[in-house]
Amino acid sequence: EVQLLESGGGFLQPGGSLRLSCAASGFTFNIYAMTWVRQAPGKGLDWVSTISGDAGTTFYADSVKGRFTISRDNSKDTLYLQMNSLRAEDTAVYYCAKALKVKQERSGWDSWGLGTLVTVSS
Amino acid sequence: QSALTQPASVSGSPGQSITISCTGTNSDVGSDNFVSWYQQHPNKDPKLLIYEGTKRPSGASNRFSGSKSGNMASLTISGLQPEDEAIYYCCSYGTYSHWVFGGGTKLTVL
C-alpha cells in the first residue's frame, strides 16, 4: 500500500524558512515523479512544484520560483520542499503526491499524503 | 498562468447525472490530453478520478467519466449518490511545463 507522510509544517513569521519532508513507502520511489500541491484555508488546490524520479528535472510555479526548492533523496525514499522568504500568502496545507505513471509526470497524481500545515503570520 | 474556470457549484438528486465543466486555453486544456480530475471531501486529501482526459485509474468508479473538446474538459457523474457530495477539481499540464488547477466545484446531492 502506497503511503505518503508529510512533516515539517509549523508557524513562522514572514521572511522565515522551513523545510517540509514527505516520507514515501509502498512503491519504488525513484521511478516516479513527485509533486507538492498546497491548499490555503478554505481555498482550492494550487500546484507548487514537481520533480522527476531521478531528480534531474524540476518544475516550479511562478509564485514560488526562486524562493522554494524541491529535492528528493532516493536512498531515503523522501521528498523535500525547502521554503525560504516565506510570505503570508504561502499559508496553506502542503500535500505531497505521487505521479500515476512511471517516469512520466504529466498524467496525474494518484496517491496523496494527508498534508502538513504551514502558517506564516506576524 | 491563470486558474482553469469551473462553476462554483452544481447540484443534483440521487440517481441523476451531472456534468462539471473546466475551461482553459490553448496553452493548457487545449494543448494536449493531460487533464485530470480530483475529488476532495472535507478535510481529506484529494482523490484522482480521471487522468489524460478520459481514463479512469484503478479503483475509480465507472460512474465517473471525462471528456474534452477544444479548450474545455468535462467531468460527468452518473447515478449520483450521497457520498459524491464533495469538491471537484480539474487540473491541466500546460505547454509551459506547469500545472494549473481549476477553482473547484462544490457538488451538492439534494
Is residue B4 within 8 A of residue B92, CB to CB? The reply is yes
- Res B1 pLDDT > 80: no
- Please report the pLDDT score of residue A106 as a whole number: 93
- pLDDT averaged over chain B? 95
Does the distance separating the beta carbons of B100 and A47 come in below 8 Å? yes
Does residue A106 sit at the B interface (CB-CB below 8 Å)?
Answer: yes
CA-based angle A112:A117:B1, to the nearest 5?
70
Does residue A113 sit at the B interface (CB-CB below 8 Å)?
Answer: yes
Task: Collect all residues of chain A within an 8 Å Cβ-Cβ radius of residue B97.
Answer: 59
- Please report the pLDDT score of residue B20 as a whole number: 98
Q: How far is B39 from chain A (nearest CA, A)?
A: 11
- Please report the pLDDT score of residue B7 as a whole number: 97
pLDDT beneath 50, residues of chain A: none
Contacts of A122 (CB under 8 A, 6+ apart): A13, A14, A88
Q: Which of B32, B36, B46 sits opposite A112 (nearest CB)?
A: B46
Banded pLDDT at B2 (limits 50, 70, 90): confident
Per-residue pLDDT tens over the stretch B61-100: 999 999 999 999 999 999 999 999 999 999 999 888 899 9
> How distant, in Å, are the alpha carbons of A4, A30, A87, A94, B75 from that of A56?
21, 11, 28, 23, 34
- Please report the pLDDT score of residue B14 as a whole number: 96
Distance CA(A112)–CA(B1), nearest Å, equals 24
Task: Collect all residues of chain A within an 8 Å Cβ-Cβ radius of residue B106.
Answer: none
Does the distance separating the beta carbons of A61 and B34 come in below 8 Å? no
- Res B34 pLDDT > 80: yes
- Please report the pLDDT score of residue A103 as a whole number: 86
Distance CA(A85)–CA(A83), nearest Å, equals 7
